[in-house]
A = this chain, B = another copy of it.
């Protein structure tokens, strides 16, 4: 029953993240998380004297996990452990190679983006879309959550920016301003997923390839270059 504080706290945040991802951040309450863990609500309140902080950390925990699954960092910080990054494309063929880049393997950015666009337009992404919509609205009322959302927005955007920049360096992409491109790609993604709770199905047709087309245009690629292989 009795656990080390760090372990218990981590358990609480992970459970809260799962609830927030599947049922919505409004369902992340002290009692709800406590019930899920089979403990008393006072215990959760002990670890999170302000419930807002729990909601905010639940959001961060959920999005951080998704980010690494969707967009593996092409050149992670050396001080963080380099092992647990899954290979974005486990195919044996090295793909079309540009001039040997200094840091990134040529073609890896292309494959990462292909995989990301394929995943982000699949139904598995629905919960993530709902979570972002949820968090962006709730940030109107909860400043602590707002800070976490802003941080995650910057993190996702920088991740795309780095992939684009690495691809430019490897000769896969042509792009003057990777940051601006990353921002615009995310605008397209967030725009298409805005209807996830309402009329998503009515719009599937016209927006199916919108993100991919925009990215191909921004990166100087031929139409279809980012289609899943």
Contacts and interface: CB of A to CB of B under 8 A. Distances in A.
Interface of A: 24, 26, 130, 132-134, 136-141, 146, 149-150, 153-154, 177, 179-181, 183-184, 186-192, 194-199, 202-203, 205-207, 210
Contact of A187 (B146, B149, B177, B207): B207
Contacts of A199: 149-150, 153-154
Contacts of A198: 136, 139, 146, 149-150, 153
A180 B206 contact: yes
Each complex incorporates copies of this chain amounting to 2
A183 B197 contact: no
Given A133-B133, A180-B205, A202-B154, A139 B187 contact: no
Contact of A191 (B130, B192, B196, B206): B192
A138 B189 CA distance: 20
Give me the 3 closest cross-chain CB pairs, A-B, nearest first: A191-B191, A180-B206, A187-B191
Contacts of A139: 197-198
Nearest to A134: B137
A37 to B, nearest CB: 24
A184 B210 contact: yes
A146 B197 contact: yes
Nearest to A130: B140
A140 B197 contact: yes
A140 B136 contact: no
